[in-house]
Structure 1
Amino acid sequence: MAIIRNFDELEPKTNVRHSETHDGWSLQGQDGEKFIQINTMGSADREILGKVSQTLRLSKEAFEQLAELARKYL
């Protein structure tokens, strides 16, 4: 699991096509701080369907930064 507090712009190294996945979010707490947690479940051809593949926790500041990036670029 990763806690994200800030997003830095990166130079893309490759343009690889990604497969789609099912995901979900939840509100989580840790040490008195709230996070938006995003879980991905892997692709449809995954060996164990529905198993969490990746988990990211966004701090309030990271979530606000991501929302601003979405408004600006999407």
Structure 2
Amino acid sequence: MALIRKFDRRERDRVSMHEEIDASYTSFERDGRVILQIDTYGRTSRQVPGKQSQTIQLDQEGAKALYEIIKREFSL
């Protein structure tokens, strides 16, 4: 699990598309701040299908940073 508060842009020499997987989100309050948690679930072909794979958390600072990236990259 990781709480993300900022993002740094990094150029990559090679990029590839990943398979589509399921994800879920929840939000909760901890120590007076709202946390958005996103959980991903691995491929259905995994040894344990439906098992949670990765979790990221965003507080308000991280959410604002991601929001600005999304607006810029998708011209929203």
- Aligned letter for 1:58? L
Q: Which consecutive aligned stretches of 4+ in structure 1 deviate over 4 angstroms post-superposition? A: none
Q: Higher strand share goes to which structure?
A: 2
Bigger Cα displacement from structure 2, 64-73 vs 28-37: 28-37
> How many positions carry a matched residue from both structures?
74
Bigger Cα displacement from structure 2, 13-22 vs 26-35: 26-35
Partner of 1:54: 54
Q: Which runs of 5+ in 2 are unaligned?
A: none
Two-structure CA RMSD over aligned residues (Å): 1.4
CA contact (8 A) 2:5 2:65 kept: no
The offset of 1:64, in angstroms, is 1.3
TM-score by length of 2: 0.84
Partner of 1:18: 18
Bigger Cα displacement from structure 2, 40-49 vs 52-61: 40-49
State the alpha-carbon separation in 2 of the partners of residues 60 and 6 from structure 1.
Answer: 10
State the alpha-carbon separation in 2 of the partners of residues 29 and 67 from structure 1.
Answer: 20
